[in-house]
Structure 1
Amino acid sequence: MDTDLYEILGLDSSATAAEIKKAYRKLALQYHPDKAAEGEREESELKFKEISSAYEILSDEAKRDAYDNRGSYHDYSQGGHGSDTPNDYGPQDFFNFFNGMNGSVPQGQAPQRSAKTENAELDVQVSLEDLFKGKTIKITSARNIICDKCHGTGAKSHAKTKTCSICAGKGSVEKIVRVGPGMVSRHYSDCVNCKATGKIFRTKDKCKKCDGNALVEETKILEFVVKKGSKNGETVVLNGESDEALNKKAGDVILTVLEKPHDTFARKGDDLFYNLKITLTEALCGFSKVVLKHLDGRSLKITTPKGKVLRPGHVLKVPKEGMPIKDSYFGGRGDLYILLDIEFPQDNWFLEKNDLDRMSDLLPETLFSKRPKLEAVDAATQEVDFVVIKESELPDIIEEEYEDHGNEQYYEQYGGSEPQCQAQ
């Protein structure tokens, strides 16, 4: 039926936006179903919907102009445009209707469309060596950009266009969805009919370059700089490299760094951990040898003083040989912890019984167990300093880390002078 919207709100056609808003608020409070008696609830619901629908038209400048020119209005309470709105009203609806009156979007009026397209996200696995030294990752990207021929309209330069009837020229459409008893949610999305431009044109007038789609595909190489010391889960963001769209800012491309497990080192924060096997002779008499190849290719050599005893559970701490500290002004580094695993002789290691007597005077120089020998590598070998600590001095995460690696040993401190560690 045809109904005068101004009459529904008790106004005349010359009413200002402020007067329309004030009248709607007053009537909505008066006729909201939650405030009605049980026997009057159905009538209040119909009246409340009629008031809300009238306000939806008159509070929107474009819709009001169209209504004033047409001079009639279809009763939303009988179906049609408002038929998606549930008939159930609850406390949340009451809150939503008036929460929007404090300077936010009025009921029924679409909010401003998102000013940015969606971000593009991708994950890349990176080795510990690359995180130690830093790495630039290059990825081929294909995205949509605004057609430079039609400037995003999808039409020829002199094509005649008209306002899209689906979105009324706004470029977006609204959908009301029931999300629970007495609760609704409003969703706004780009209008597919006009491709969010608000205008439509004849098929023969479409842009030949983009075939009327307003967008064309662009392929380019994106470079992501992963800084030294970057950690697992950190992101690298390239601003404005996602898809483009008319009247929107291009979103970002976000790369998430995923650290690959390493065969030799374990990492916790900025510190590195390494398991080193030594013989009983080396533990008792000391040693001087290359013990590991670092992540940057250097060979680290450790020299322990003769007579210095390394006991089961000891840890060698090499300061500033851990991971680089990301964005450190002075080039700071974490520490390297070398966990010692002392190999003891096998049972019945002696060849003759008098070997047991000789044991008190001379310890075996070699072990019967076979193990690969770590040879010096071609890269420069550097000798580094270290200190011996006990388990209580380790970072809190050491127990967790080495449970994962099957190492259940615990560490004690020994006294005396400190061995020296060299990288050559």
Structure 2
Amino acid sequence: MENGSLYELLGVKSTATTVEIKAAYRKKAMKYHPVSKNPNDPEAHAKFQEIAAAYEVLVDDQAREMYDQYGLDGLSGGGGGPGFSPEDLFEHLFAGGSFGGFGGGGGGRRKRRGSDSTIPYEVSLQDLYQGKTVKMQIEKTVVCATCSGSGGKPGTKPKQCSRCEGEGVIMTTRSVGGANVGFARIACPQCKGSGMTIREKDRCKKCKGEKTTKEKKRLELQIEPGMPDEYHIVLHGEGDQEPEMTPGDVIFVLKCKEHDAFERAGADLLAHVRITLSEALLGFSRVVLTHLDGRGIRFDSRAQEGGKKIYKSGDTVVIRGEGMPIWKKDAPRRASGAPVEKGDLFILFEVEMPDEGWLDTVDVQALRAMLPPGKPDLQASIVDEAKFEPSDIALFGDGDDAWEDDEFDETEDTQCRNQ
């Protein structure tokens, strides 16, 4: 990465003050936060980490001076690098915390937040139309009840971790774009961030010193009418537990299954309805589809245009207020007893042509006399009789690759020239 790129990541000038750098980080971190703002963007987490790494360097006077003088190469040997993870930085900034511990020296252990659990949940279009309450059971990590999360037997005392010397964190190099930009703190893998360890013989028999166990937890998932596909239902604090950590969330991501009769676009629904040739020509009145709540929808083609409308394949009508519930407006309306506001239902007609056997059952000459006459010939000086065979429109264009000129050279100028 070129010198100055860390400033560009935060969107500040090289002369920016510490206050301006902190303000820029707040804005960028909020925009690219992978959980709260961009849960479906796989690139958001990497961008979030790059922004946090740039902030770690530029907010530290010593690291920033070294970076300004030597670029990223000046940081590769250590000596910069404050030391919180990007998630810690975000939490610290928006919790109104102090940055006094960034200058170096042990900042001590901080209360952290557990990771979130994201679970895809498959729903039908009927579920999203009518709403549904789902009770389910999941397995989650909880703090061991026997040792209250200490990991040891009653009366035993843990000792200081030899690897992190009780700090709960160890230093490691952090890199952005393949180049080291200094040190960062990570949770000590030996004591898992607690700073203390317990001898094997003194460990809790239930959790075996792990401080946590697994248990089944019943959860209730409320799917509200009109919720969109891919919506994230967040159950706050229902994630895995760890000692001295705030539990994360359980996030259910709704995945709507394809429906046989309806397509959805926002609050609107689309249904394809097939009608016969006689219905298209002479009109019809019948139940053309079953709605998502089980109601039959009757359509009378003669109710419009004096009953003389002839329907063709591709003709569309709309029934106002028969689409999906408009989710954000639905809850207060239901609470007040008012009718639920909905989108629209579009019906796309397709005319079914009779098969060849039908011609054997009718008087063809009489039918021809009743139908509109055929079109006349187009004028042409020479007329060839077409020899044809059945085909498929999907094959159109398949022969493009068959043409090849052995003398054609892509490097030559192929522009047409006047002769």
- Counterpart amino acid of 2:139? A
CA distance in 2, matches of 1:157, 1:234: 45
Which residue in 2 is equivalent to 1:309? Answer: 309
2:37 corresponds to: none
In structure 2, give the amino acid aligned to 1:238.
L
Measure, in 2, the Cα distance between the counterparts of 1:206 and 1:215: 12
Match of 2:321 in 1: 320
1:211-254 per-position Cα deviation (integer Å, ceiling 9, x unaligned): 22111111122221111111111011111111111111000010
Structure 2 partner of 1:60: none
Please show how residues 158-169 of structure 1 align to structure 2 within 5 Å: 158-169=155-166
Distance 1:253 1:205, change over 3 A: same
Aligned match of 2:56: none
Alignment of 1:128-167 (within 5 A): 128-167=125-164
| Residue matched to 2:284 | 287
Deviations 1:264-307 (CA, angstroms, capped at 9, x unpaired) = 11111110111112233323332211110111111111123363
Counterpart for residue 356 of structure 1: 368
- Work out the CA distance in 2 between the residues paired with 1:187 and 1:94: 11
Aligned: 1:116 with 2:101: no
| Cα displacement (A) at 1:110 | 4.9
Query: Unaligned stretches of 5+ in structure 1?
Result: 1-24, 37-85, 361-424
After superposition, the C-alpha distances for 1:83-134 in whole angstroms (9 at most, x for unaligned) are: xxx9x5159989867xx99746113545754621000111122111111111
CA distance in 1, matches of 2:143, 2:270: 51
Kept in 2, the 8 Å contact 1:110–1:174? The answer is no
> CA separation of 1:178/1:322 partners in 2, compared to 1, >3 Å: closer, same or farther?
closer
Q: Which moved more, 1:263-272 or 1:284-293?
A: 284-293
> What SS does structure 2 have at the residue aligned with 1:283?
helix
CA contact (8 A) 1:92 1:182 kept: no
- The answer as to whether partners of 1:325 and 1:334 remain within 8 angstroms in 2 is yes
Task: State yes or no: 1:342 paired with 2:351.
Answer: yes
- Cα distance 1:134–1:316, how it changes in 2: closer, same or farther (>3 A)? same
1:172 is aligned to 169
Q: SS where residue 156 of structure 1 aligns?
A: coil
Report the AA paired with residue 310 of structure 1.
I
Task: Look up the equivalent residue of 2:289 and give its one-letter code.
Answer: L
Residue 159 of structure 1, CA deviation? 1.2
| 2:149 maps to amino acid | G
* 1:218 matches 2:215: yes
Structure 2 counterparts to residues 12-411 of structure 1, below 5 A: 88-89=73-74, 103=100, 105-107=102-104, 109-110=106-107, 113=110, 115-179=112-176, 183-305=180-302, 307-312=307-312, 313-328=314-329, 329-330=332-333, 331-344=340-353, 349=359, 351-359=363-371
In structure 1, distance between residues paired with 2:99 and 2:141? 38
> Helix, strand or coil for the counterpart of 2:233?
strand
Preserved CA contact (<8 Å) 1:284 1:307: no
Output the CA distance in 2 between the equivalents of 1:196 and 1:104: 17
Greater share of residues in helix: 2
TM-score, normalized by length of structure 1? 0.58
Letter in 1 for 2:196: K
- What's the offset of the Cα at 1:340? 1.6
Q: State how many pairs are aligned.
A: 284
Q: Is the 8 A contact 2:160 2:195 kept in 1?
A: yes
RMSD: 3.6
Label 1:186 to 1:260 Cα distance change in 2 as closer, same or farther (>3 A).
farther
Partner residue in 2 for 1:370: none
Contact 1:34–1:90 (CA under 8 A) maintained in structure 2:
no
Compared CA separation, residues 33 and 211, structure 1 to 2 (3 A): closer
Tell me: CA distance 1:293–1:204, structure 2 relative to 1, closer, same or farther (3 Å). Answer: same
Maintained 8 Å contact 1:93/1:182 = no
